[in-house]
Amino acid sequence: MADKIKGKKIIFVVGGPGSGKGTQCEKMVAKYGYTHLSSGDLLRLEVASGSERGKNLQAIMQKGELVPLDTVLDMILDAMVAKADTSKGYLIDGYPREVKQGEEFEKKIGAPSLLLYVDASGPTMVKRLMKRGETSGRADDNEETIKKRLDLYYKATEPVIAFYEGRGIVRKVNSELPVDEVFAAVAKAVDGMK
Ligand SMILES: Nc1ncnc2c1ncn2[C@@H]1O[C@H](COP(=O)(O)OP(=O)(O)O)[C@@H](O)[C@H]1O
Ligand SMILES: Nc1ncnc2c1ncn2[C@H]1C[C@H](O)[C@@H](COP(=O)(O)OP(=O)(O)O)O1
Ligand SMILES: [Mg+2]
């Protein structure tokens, strides 16, 4: 099944909640034609379907916790396979959120060519998420859940960046800057990808 994906470039897009991953992915889609797969979006689609599984996922996300690894990895793999015929490569946004997720992804699917680290400070992320919450309708864009998500990011997800740094594939961009300036750095990282 994963054969269809072989040889296609994989970019992990990692950063805290509200750092600007989705924003930069949209711009990469426009410039490079890669397929954007956000783990959070895939999960929210399942929630919106009203399924029993979706109800469980919603409860976990509302608490700011991570959903089970197998669930999110299966969803990503299915989505990658579904797009394989037309895809030039994949932007995997919001995954891995812990080192184990990276290890399992590589066992099942393949290795990333680049880890794009979208970096913003804690206060900036909180400010952006509170603003996003005014219109997003997202159950996790509220003060209490944002705090939990940030804590979990520092504890579980930052170690992912250290894990891949050893391989020399991490490119960090300063996401405190205006969107287009961030994207200039993103494009440089993508253009330099081996
Ligand atoms: N460089 C930036 N400067 C200012 N605001 C930004 C920037 N990047 C993203 N935002 C805003 O911050 C919020 C979170 O961005 P988003 O792309 O949804 O982040 P993530 O997917 O990492 O949670 C959005 O409302 C977005 O418009
Ligand atoms: N790789 C993953 N593993 C476990 N849970 C995940 C996940 N990706 C997303 N989720 C769940 C928990 C997150 O708090 C929630 C929202 O994720 P998201 O949409 O990627 O957030 P954001 O774009 O604000 O960083 O979905
Ligand atoms: Mg996002």
Mean pLDDT by 10 residues, the chain (194 residues): 86 98 98 97 97 96 98 97 94 98 97 98 98 97 98 98 97 98 98 93
Nearest CA to ligand 2 atom 16: 40
Specify the pLDDT at position 188.
98
Specify the pLDDT at position 7.
87
Specify the pLDDT at position 10.
98
Distance 6 CA to ligand 2 centre (A): 26
Q: Are 120 and 19 in contact (CB under 8 A)?
A: yes
Measuring from each residue's beta carbon to the nearest atom of ligand 1, which residues come in under 6 Å?
15, 17-23, 128, 131-132, 175, 177-179, 182
pTM score, two decimals?
0.97
Say what angle helices 21-32 and 179-191 make with each other, to 10 degrees. 60
ipTM score assigned to the predicted complex: 0.93
Nearest CA to ligand 1 atom 23: 18
* Domain 8-192 is found in CATH 3.30.830.10: no
Using alpha carbons, select from 17, 15, 6 the residue that is nearest to residue 110.
6
Specify the pLDDT at position 1.
57
Tokens of 48: 């919106």
Q: Are 156 and 98 in contact (CB under 8 A)?
A: yes
Tokens of 40: 């959070």
Distance from first CA to last CA of the chain, Å, rounded? 25
